[in-house]
Structure 1
Amino acid sequence: MKLTVIGTGYVGAVHAACMAEIGHTVLGVDINPDRVDLLNRAKAPMHEPGLDELLTRTVASGRLRFTTSLAQAARFAGLHFICVGTPQQPDSPAADVRYVDAAVEGMAPDLRPGSLVVGKSTVPVGTAARLAARLRQVAPQAEIAWNPEFLREGSAVRDTLWPERLVVGVSSARAEAVLRDVYAPMLRGGVPFFCTDPSTAELVKVAANSFLATKISFINAMAEVCDAAGADVTTLAQAIGEDSRIGHPFLQPGLGFGGSCFPKDIRAFAARAEELGAGKAVAFLHEVDEINTRQRRRTVDLARALVGGSFADRNVGVLGAAFKPDSDDVRDSPALAVADAVRAEGAEVRVHDPAALDNAQAAFPELKYTSVVPEACDGADLVLHLTPWREYAEIDPALLARVVRRPLLVDARNTLDVQAWQQAGWCVRALGRPGLNGAHRHATGTGPYDGLIGVSLESDPCMSS
């Protein structure tokens, strides 16, 4: 089939390359000429495992190319996927759908009769119906459908070529047939296919993200309780995850979620529910959001306590800038939020990340950056592990201990081998694990981390080195 993909960010670039990989002829569209030029040279505009190789094959095959012209795209094919961003509005928690609207409006005058415009962008429920009404005015022979994406940054290629499910929201049997043809290789492989109305399809994505965000915030809420009770949240998470009704995925306690999806999607979902008069049904999402944000503040509090109550004149090494591993995306990155908060309180902060340094430097130019882990930690009074890259799990803690001023570590992701770090002489702390290194809350403390340093630094065995 011939098809277009409008918008070549994470979703669009991957979708275009994957559609070409399974045999379709694809024209990608973006308003950024530099990005279009990069993609036409088979270079991914972001760090995404496997995407460069996929672009190299599909561009060389002639099945994939890119342009800046919406009119050219409208004339190229009768099937169009909308993959533009829907960020949070600057003055509201609601989603900003202006780019979706602009894509449809821009193509409408040149659409072929019988064209099918398929939204993949995450939008407020009701967007498809609104756009369908608009198309009936300006391109009456065109049709709208919705086909939400479920890819995860870091595994986007795999998630697109071998999805866990396909969901399409259509208004006609013809639209369903077209989308079944598009995804025929996946369907032959047994991928579940859900055909429903556009409103349900729109809700599937935001409902899924809201559930996962809730699960993350739940275990982080339990980490707060564990800090108060002297319990260990990692053991708690493992134990409840064995329950088949709960499961282990997304029960990783730590710094919380970030990125371009979960935070803005749950806020937009709550805002849209309010508009529909169903705000009370999802009021819990506001607390989910607050718990997640609070994890960042709690991490800064824990770090401050470890260095004696003040970051002034302290050197802090930071491991991680991306919001998650295997990505260079720093949008709403918990790691950078913590690093910048520590810097703002007077610390000298040096940040390392395997892929996201350029994006991090553009977003937070006040921080210092390095491509070498020992350099980030050289002379550090404290090391913060903030993004769980595989590289950090492979660090030799004994070698790193030789370059720091004090071997103090906050494992804000609970993914490092704590025993190995302790055996190398490190004092390790983590949210929800007050028993690490024998630390306990002080019985008369009033703050969440008073007991981590007790009355004096010397009272803690980790502070004696």
Structure 2
Amino acid sequence: MAHRLTVIGTGYLGATHAACMADLGFEVLGLDVDAERIARLAAGDLPFYEPGLEPLLRRGLESGRLRFTTSYDEAAEFGDVHFLCVGTPQKAGEYAADLAYVEEAVTRLAARLRRPCLVVGKSTVPVGTADRLARRIAELAPVGGDAVLAWNPEFLREGFACKDTLHPDRIVVGLPADQGAAGHAEKVLREVYAPMLAEGTPFVVADYPTSELVKVSANAFLATKISFINAMAEVCEAAHADVTKLSEALSYDDRIGGRFLGPGLGFGGGCLPKDIRAFMARAGELGVDQALTFLREVDEINIRRRIRMVDLARELLGGSFIGRTVGVLGAAFKPDSDDVRDSPALDVAATIRGQGGRVTVFDPRAMDNARRAQPALAYGESALAAARGAHVVLLLTEWSEFRRMDPADLAEVVAERNIVDGRNALDPERWRSAGWTYRALGRP
């Protein structure tokens, strides 16, 4: 008999995991305390944009394999395997992760566990959290030691979440020290992930702390690589060199590779910034803060890119934004997403408005979220509308429709042909030959 799955928390991670597991044939019950979110999901309405996910959601609902609830009692009774997909945002005014939502979810679920089950943490948490939560479950669960905790970090990329769930590049499971419990948890997870394992996906078995470190270590490495090439962009600007050619040359070195070596405005979103900060905070608590001091500079390089983008735009306008109109293309932190959390694009737009510029923003998917996050900005209904009357246009999120823009079409609506390419996504010669003054981060 197939395991019945619950997914606790139906945000980006949870909704994706629930829909994908249902598509694999499992009976899945998604749980969230947000009744409005649950109602939308139950109606087949995805509360965020992710390519390919909404059809999976609707297919699961129509098949009857996927349902949603706000009841912990129902979830505890239903599930053989409970996936914890609750958010761990950054604490206000601190670097550390806020574990309140995870701890509340575990407490409420554990108190209702009356039959043997496996609880599987997928949330990104500071190392040491799983061991503490395992003790909490053992104390609270009526079934006692027959409620076992495993840790199974997620590695989703926004824009590729369905692929990353259904065809992951690796599966990591952190198991308890007790051999009997560990053997049972591994067996169950191998059964749940059998379709992925049949494709040859590596299955890495570790202990709790190692599994907790995998996600934050991967994010720290990725952030470091992005900030490295952006640090080189700073040097290139000072030396009148071209960082895009530097990046290309580096990419042919097998030891380095070209992925995520694209210079530009830097990273944002709900994971990388808060995860590297939480990692630094946890290292300090463990007394090894010196091991991760380099991440502070990684973070600062990333923030400096935003400042430099504002400076470049101001330079093109003769030193001031006051009385000038700025068209901003992009609000999401990356293309194929509507996520504006810690978005470099939206941060730059708001900063310019704060310095006196009249700013109009357009994004193909993130307009609603952008309006909620920055209601004082103006918003256009298209790229041309955002650029109308602009003295400078900023490309800040590299959506494909922005890459394909015709310089001549844009020239017809702007006040001055000035463009700053924050993602090195455009062909400089094409734009310059159309009469534009083209500037980009890290290029002459």
CA displacement, residues 228-286 of structure 1 (integer Å, 9 cap, x when unaligned): 11100000011101101101111010000000000000000010011001111111000
* Counterpart-to-counterpart distance in 2, 1:156 and 1:326: 11
- How far has the Cα of 1:92 moved from its partner? 1.1
* Counterpart-to-counterpart distance in 2, 1:234 and 1:112: 59
Give yes or no for contact 1:223–1:432 (8 Å, CA) kept in 2. yes
Amino acid at match of 2:47: P
CA displacement, residues 139-193 of structure 1 (integer Å, 9 cap, x when unaligned): 2231111000000111111111111111111121100011001100000011111
What SS is found at the alignment partner of 1:266? helix
Give yes or no for contact 1:126–1:199 (8 Å, CA) kept in 2. yes
- How far has the Cα of 1:4 moved from its partner? 0.2
Q: Show the counterpart of 2:174.
A: 169
Q: Show the counterpart of 1:16.
A: 18
What SS is found at the alignment partner of 1:144? strand
Give yes or no for contact 1:78–1:112 (8 Å, CA) kept in 2. no
* Counterpart-to-counterpart distance in 2, 1:135 and 1:372: 51
Q: Show the counterpart of 1:455.
A: none
Aligned with residue 292 of structure 2, among 265, 274, 282: 282
Q: Show the counterpart of 1:346.
A: 356
* Counterpart-to-counterpart distance in 2, 1:94 and 1:175: 30
CA displacement, residues 211-231 of structure 1 (integer Å, 9 cap, x when unaligned): 000000000000000011110
The alignment status of 1:333 with 2:343, answered yes or no, reads yes
Give yes or no for contact 1:407–1:427 (8 Å, CA) kept in 2. yes
What SS is found at the alignment partner of 1:298? helix
What SS is found at the alignment partner of 1:374? helix
CA displacement, residues 4-37 of structure 1 (integer Å, 9 cap, x when unaligned): 0011111000000000011110000111111111
Amino acid at match of 1:85: G
Give yes or no for contact 1:78–1:111 (8 Å, CA) kept in 2. no
What SS is found at the alignment partner of 1:110? coil
Give yes or no for contact 1:71–1:106 (8 Å, CA) kept in 2. no
* Counterpart-to-counterpart distance in 1, 2:84 and 2:309: 38
Q: Show the counterpart of 2:57.
A: 55
The alignment status of 1:91 with 2:93, answered yes or no, reads yes
* Counterpart-to-counterpart distance in 1, 2:269 and 2:134: 30
* Counterpart-to-counterpart distance in 2, 1:15 and 1:127: 22
The alignment status of 1:319 with 2:329, answered yes or no, reads yes
Instruction: Mark the runs of 5 or more structure 2 residues left unpaired by the alignment.
Output: 177-181
What SS is found at the alignment partner of 1:58? helix
Q: Show the counterpart of 1:403.
A: 413
CA displacement, residues 32-86 of structure 1 (integer Å, 9 cap, x when unaligned): 1111111111121100000111111111000001011112111111210000100
Q: Show the counterpart of 2:179.
A: none
Q: Show the counterpart of 1:369.
A: 379
Amino acid at match of 2:434: A
Amino acid at match of 1:64: L
CA displacement, residues 77-127 of structure 1 (integer Å, 9 cap, x when unaligned): 121000010000002100001111011101112113322111100000000
Which stretch of structure 1 is more off in the superposition, 410-419 or 252-261?
Answer: 410-419
Under a length normalisation based on structure 1, what TM-score does the superposition of the two structures give? 0.92
The alignment status of 1:75 with 2:104, answered yes or no, reads no
Amino acid at match of 1:44: L
CA displacement, residues 289-336 of structure 1 (integer Å, 9 cap, x when unaligned): 000011100110111111000000000000000011000010000000
Give yes or no for contact 1:152–1:159 (8 Å, CA) kept in 2. yes
- How far has the Cα of 1:421 moved from its partner? 1.4
Percentage of pairs with the same residue: 61
- How far has the Cα of 1:370 moved from its partner? 1.5
* Counterpart-to-counterpart distance in 2, 1:79 and 1:160: 17
Structure 1 moving runs of 4+ over 4 Å: none
Amino acid at match of 1:261: C
Instruction: Mark the runs of 5 or more structure 1 residues left unpaired by the alignment.
Output: 435-465
What SS is found at the alignment partner of 2:28? strand
* Counterpart-to-counterpart distance in 2, 1:231 and 1:334: 24
- How far has the Cα of 1:420 moved from its partner? 1.7
Q: Show the counterpart of 1:307.
A: 317
- How far has the Cα of 1:417 moved from its partner? 2.0
The alignment status of 1:392 with 2:402, answered yes or no, reads yes
The alignment status of 1:253 with 2:263, answered yes or no, reads yes
Under a length normalisation based on structure 2, what TM-score does the superposition of the two structures give? 0.97
* Counterpart-to-counterpart distance in 2, 1:116 and 1:77: 9
RMSD: 0.8
Amino acid at match of 2:122: K
What SS is found at the alignment partner of 1:283? helix
* Counterpart-to-counterpart distance in 1, 2:8 and 2:430: 48
- How far has the Cα of 1:410 moved from its partner? 0.3
* Counterpart-to-counterpart distance in 1, 2:121 and 2:381: 39
Q: Show the counterpart of 1:27.
A: 29
Which stretch of structure 1 is more off in the superposition, 375-384 or 37-46?
Answer: 37-46
